[in-house]
Each structure stands twice: as C-alpha cells, then as structure tokens.
Amino acid sequence: EDQVTQSPEALRLQEGESSSLNCSYTVSGLRGLFWYRQDPGKGPEFLFTLYSAGEEKEKERLKATLTKKESFLHITAPKPEDSATYLCAVCFGNEKLTFGTGTRLTIIP
C-alpha cells in the first residue's frame, strides 16, 4: 500500500533557527510530490510540486528537495509568520493524492 509519512509531528524553533521537515514515501510509481501549508482554521495552500529525484524548488525562506524515497522542506531563518502545519502529498500511479498527517511548526519570537 502506498504510504506517506511525515516527521516530526511537531517542531518548535526559535526565530532564526533553521531546520528541516521530512516526508518519506513508499513508492508505487511516484508521479509528483506536493507541499502545502495549512494555517489554523483554513484550508491547505499550495507551496511546491516536485517531480524527480534531485529537483529543488525555493520560495522565500522555504526550499523543497526530493530524493527517491523522501522529500525535505528546509526552512532557513524562520519567522513567526512561518508557523503553520506543513502537509506533504504524493501522487502515485493512480494519479490520486495521498496526504501525510503533517508537521505542526511553531516559530517562537
């Protein structure tokens, strides 16, 4: 069964303290990997799509990378406004999205 696992479940960082979130998956024909941001009381908001190992994408303080078995969301010098839950979703051969359970990130001023 195709699975998506995110770690850690929760992460607290001081403002400016860089770190990485992980999304690992068991593959049955990876077609694409998505990162979304979800703020409390809101729907997920699209951040990135990655398609092949070695690919990287950046947006402000966020950089997403992809290997054959996992993806990392690197957060450089985070600010309090980066606090949110970050969701990973994978599109497998059946072209449906399978979501992980998310990492709840808190940035402390």
Binding site for another protein (CB under 8 A): 4, 31-32, 34, 41-46, 49, 51, 87, 89, 91, 95-97, 99-102
Find the shortest distance in angstroms from Cβ 46 to another protein: 5
Q: Which is nearer to another protein, 90 or 107 (CB)?
A: 90
3 state DSSP class of 52: coil
Find the shortest distance in angstroms from Cβ 102 to another protein: 7
Please name the residues in contact with 105: beta carbons below 8 A apart, sequence gap of 6 or more: 10, 11, 13, 21, 75, 78, 82, 83, 84, 85, 86
Find the shortest distance in angstroms from Cβ 51 to another protein: 7
Q: Which is nearer to another protein, 41 or 109 (CB)?
A: 41
HSE (side-chain half, CA atoms, 13 Å) at 57:
14
